[in-house]
Every structure is written in structure tokens, then in C-alpha cells.
Amino acid sequence: MKDTDTVTLTSYATALANAGQNERAFGLFERSLALKDTDTVTLNSYATALANAGENERAFALFERSLDVTPDNKITLLQFGLFLETQGRYEEAIGYLESIPLSESDRRQAGFVCLNLGRLYYRDNQRRQAEEWFKRAVAYSDDAIASKLNAARHILVSNPYSKEAVALLAEIIQEMPDHGPARQMLRLNLGLKEQYERFGADDPAEYQERELLNRAIYHKIANEIGLFKGLVHRLAKRSESQSLAGLIEQIEFINEEIGKRRNAIRAEEGMTPADPGYEQVLETISATAQDISDFVNNEIAILERRVRRLLKGDGDSAPKDEFQRLLEQIEFTQGALDDLETVNEAIRPRMEAFPVRNLFDNWAQNPEIDDAATAVRVTVKLDNPDAIFSGDQQKIKAILKELVGNAIRHNPGQKLVRILLMARDVENLSDYVLPGKRIPGQRKYLNIIYMDDGKGIPEDKKEWVFQPLKTTAREGGGLGLFILRKTVRAMRGYILERGRPEGGARFEIYLPYGAEK
């Protein structure tokens, strides 16, 4: 390599920087600038490499040096503007990109500038200007559908579930019904009501089975009590404690009373119209849940007091940490009942900062669940246990518990279901969530993956199962996954099922960092 060849030095330095070898790359950039300190290609490439390495002040200085050399350089104006976007300096970024003379640019470059300006205006909460720039991007493009898809992607990066993005995706589907990426993005970003109307209201015969509503409420509540009962039974096997035997008797009483109340509700006439709409379905679910969940909440409160007394006692043979786990299950159950009663209301996350490992402690410490028909063994694998995430810790824990509970309900006859829970940080959303190249300023996400070796979910049911009262289990209630998606949505995240039929279920959850802001 010639020491006097700035092009070679800069090209090699850029390749090293892209490979993560920053020290060697920066040394070569410096050698290139020593030969010609006014070379804008070197200045821009070096500045970009510094920005990618988090050296923002040095990057800013080099971009300014490059503009001092050639104030109207289109590449410098674009790259500097995109760098400023990553710093949240949207107005300045807009100023630099609007300085690029589109009339002197080729159509592809002009469309790219318009697309980025649309995103910048959107992030700066100037929606009308954003819409105009997105329209100009489409006008410059030789492929209007591709440009609309890109515009939707650029909006969704900063605002999941955006109505503007959904409208663009709907236009694409209208023109090209089989457009795969647009259909996938539309499914993930439709409003809950629109999702129900598109994927849920597909079988009029189901509306005639009013028992569905009763069954949904009953099984959701019974599942929560069942998990608590399973914990107590496991403790009782290891302990001679008479106190635990008393807890089992109380839980059996709760189960019997739930059955009686369920039968009373079942006998009521005219609970729903023959063909209820989305709002009517949710209102009826909430009203039906009220009586049973009020009773269960009262009984759970009594159980909680008894467990706390046992936790403080000295003479009981059961380990104190086991009673602590019972208290945690009680909190889960109370939270699930609260969510059930308010299924037709907004879910408001309680944001707090916590290490990611907290979400999985319960499963790491209690990896096995012994059910009468199906046992579960959970393995936890964390790539980011010490990462600090801000979100609703209890609701995320409840999501994991719901998925594990589903494995028991949906795999009758399978003696053992193996489950893998994983977590990692990802710098950008997967292509099947947000197709295409990485967009500047995209958020970091906490990616939680659930996998099991059960029977899986049929391909044509992957969206259907997230709708209220939809279930693939013989005895399922069809509310758990609906509430789960609603909860993830409230945290501005995504959930989707990507397992293979007969190859097990696989749920992927993406929750954005910085949602507390």
C-alpha cells in the first residue's frame, strides 16, 4: 500500500472501521489527512467511523472541517445531517438536508434525501411537512410501492403503530394484495380493533356460542389459581407442614366456588348479541369477569395474609424462600385478574428501571413445573443479564408466565414440554418485523424469545390466536394472548409467533429501550 495514495489509505481505513478495528482504521485516516487535510472523502469517512465508535465530538469537528472545504458538498450535507439526527438535533439536521440542491441530484439520490427529510420532520413532530416530503420521495421514485414501503418503515422506526404508516401500508396492499413485507408490517401495526376485524371476526358460527365468553373468563382465572395450587402441592411433597395442607384446602374451596359462579353466569340469557362487534366483545368479557374475579381477589387476599404469617413463623418446616415464591405467585395472580377485569380499557405500564436478569429469576430458580398431565422444564439463557431496562417489570414477568402456562394447556398428552427462554439486546428490528436496511437513529430493543418443543401453532392461526376469544386448545379461554399483545403494545413493542407446526411454538418479543422518555 502506497503511503502517498490517499484513496487507498481511506478505503482501507473504512474497511477496517466497518470490521470493528477502529484503532488501526483511525491511524490510517490520520495518515491520509497528513497527506491531504482538505480531502472531503477522507474527512467524511473518518467522521462517520468516529460517530459509529461513539466519538461524537471528534466526528462533529471533522464534518465541520469538511463543510469548510466545500460548503455545498451534497455527500457531506447528507452525512452530517444524518449524524446530527442520531444526536437528537433534528432541526439542524433538517437544515443541512434541505440545503442539498435536489435539482442537481439524480432522481434516486433526490428521492433518498426526501425520504430522510420526511423521517426527520416526523421525528420533530411536524407531521404535515413529513407527509409532503414522503410524497416527494414517491414522486422521485421509479417504484412508487417501494417508496411508500420505505416511508412507512421510516415512520415506524420512531413511532410504532403510527396511523400514517398504517395508511401507507394499506395503500400498498390495495394496489398489490400479495405484497409480503407490507402485509407483515400491517399485521403488526394495525390498531387492536382493526386487528380483530381483520383477523378475528372470521367465523359467524362462533358468535352463536355464547359459552365462549364464560369459558374464556373461567379458564383464565382457573389457570391462575391452578399455577398457585401447583406450587403449594410441590411444597407439600417436601414438607410435613400442616399449614400447607390448610392452604390446599382453601385453594380447593376457591376452585369449587369458581365452578358454582361460572354455572350461574352460564345460565344468564342474552349476554351478547348474535353478532357482537369488537367493543361489545370486550365489554362483555369485562362484565363477565367482575363477579368471579372479585370473589377470587378477596380469597387471594386471605391466602396472602396466611402465607405472610407462615413466612414470619419459626416452627414451620417449609423453607422461607418457598413461601416467598408463593407470595410472588399471589402477586402474579392478582395482576392477571386486574388485567382481566380491565380488558376493554387501556393498559398503562408502570415504568421502572431494573436489570434484565430480574425478569427470569423465578424460572432460573424454579425450572420445573409438575402438572398432573404435562410437566414443564424451563431453561434460561441470557446474553444481557446486567443490562438495565426500563419497563413494566411485573407485566413482562406475567407475559412469560402466560406463555409457559400455555405450554401446559396446549400440549395435553405430552409428558414433558421443554421450554427455552432467551434475552438479548438488538440494535435493529428483524427483517420480518421491519423489512429493509437499517434506518439512522433506530432504537435498541430488548429481544425476548420463548421456544418450546410442543405441537406448535398452525401457520394460518399465527395472527388469529392473538384475537380475543380465539384459542387452539380444547379447553383454552382465548384471552391470554390478546391481553399479552395489548400489554406489549402499551410498552411500544411488538410480539409475533414464528414457530413451526409440529415443531413447537416460538414467540419473539421486541421492547424498545428508552420507552420511559
How confident is the model over 44-53, as pLDDT tens digits?
Answer: 999 999 998 8
pLDDT at position 325: 73
pLDDT at position 210: 37
User: pLDDT over 70 for what percent of the chain?
Assistant: 72
pLDDT at position 451: 92
Residue 473: pLDDT over 60? no
Distance CA 510, CA 446 (A): 6
pLDDT at position 201: 45
Work out the widest C-alpha separation in the chain, in whole angstroms.
90
> In DSSP terms, which residues pair with 388 in a beta bridge?
355
Residue 111: pLDDT over 80? yes
Residue 345: pLDDT over 50? no
- From 63, 160, 149, 78, select the one nearest 120 (Cα to Cα): 78
- From 360, 407, 376, select the one nearest 507 (Cα to Cα): 407
pLDDT at position 206: 35
- pLDDT tens digits, residue range 216-236? 556 667 767 777 777 777 777
> Which of 125 and 259 is assigned the larger pLDDT?
125
Q: How far is CA 286 from CA 97, 154, 201, 340, 407, in A?
A: 51, 37, 19, 7, 25
Could you tell me the fold of the domain covering 352-512? Heat Shock Protein 90 (3.30.565)
What's the angle, vertex CA 286, arms to CA 351 and CA 326, rounded to 5? 55
> Which of 169 and 316 is assigned the larger pLDDT?
169
Q: How far is CA 481 from CA 129, 146, 476, 486, 487, in A?
A: 38, 33, 11, 8, 10
Residue 175: pLDDT over 90? no
Look up residue 99 and give its DSSP letter: T
Distance CA 293, CA 254 (A): 11
pLDDT at position 197: 57
What's the alpha-carbon Rg for the chain, to the nearest Å?
Answer: 28
- pLDDT tens digits, residue range 181-219? 887 787 777 765 565 555 444 433 333 333 444 455 566
**Greatest mean pLDDT range, 164-173, 249-258, 467-476:** 164-173
Confidence of residue 442 (pLDDT cuts 50, 70, 90): low
Q: What is the arithmetic mean of pLDDT over 127-141?
A: 90
Instruction: Provide the angle, in degrees to the nearest 10, between the axes of the packed helices 242-266 and 278-312.
Output: 160
pLDDT at position 208: 33
Could you tell me the fold of the domain covering 210-341? Four Helix Bundle (Hemerythrin (Met), subunit A) (1.20.120)
Residue type (1 letter), 125: N
Q: Where do we find the cell 412469560?
A: 400
Residue 516: pLDDT over 50? yes
pLDDT at position 129: 92
Q: What is the arithmetic mean of pLDDT over 96-107?
A: 92
- Specify the pTM: 0.56
Contact assessment for residue 410 and residue 473, using Cβ atoms and an 8 Å cutoff: yes
pLDDT at position 205: 34
Which residue ranges make up each domain of the chain? 210-341, 352-512
pLDDT at position 220: 63
Min mean pLDDT across 164-178, 183-197, 381-395 is at 183-197
Residue 56: pLDDT over 80? yes
Q: Residue 344: which residues within 8 A CB-CB, separation 6 or more? A: 279, 282, 283, 285, 286
Residue 424: pLDDT over 90? yes
pLDDT at position 446: 95
Residue 243: pLDDT over 80? no
Q: Where do we find the cell 413485507?
A: 181
Residues belonging to the chain: 517
Q: What is the mean pLDDT of the chain?
A: 77
> Which of 463 and 40 is assigned the larger pLDDT?
40
- pLDDT tens digits, residue range 244-302? 777 878 888 887 777 776 666 555 434 445 555 545 555 555 555 566 777 787 888 88
pLDDT at position 256: 79
Residue 77: pLDDT over 60? yes
> Which of 192 and 490 is assigned the larger pLDDT?
490
Min mean pLDDT across 98-102, 365-369, 446-450 is at 365-369
> Which of 188 and 471 is assigned the larger pLDDT?
188
Distance CA 376, CA 374 (A): 7
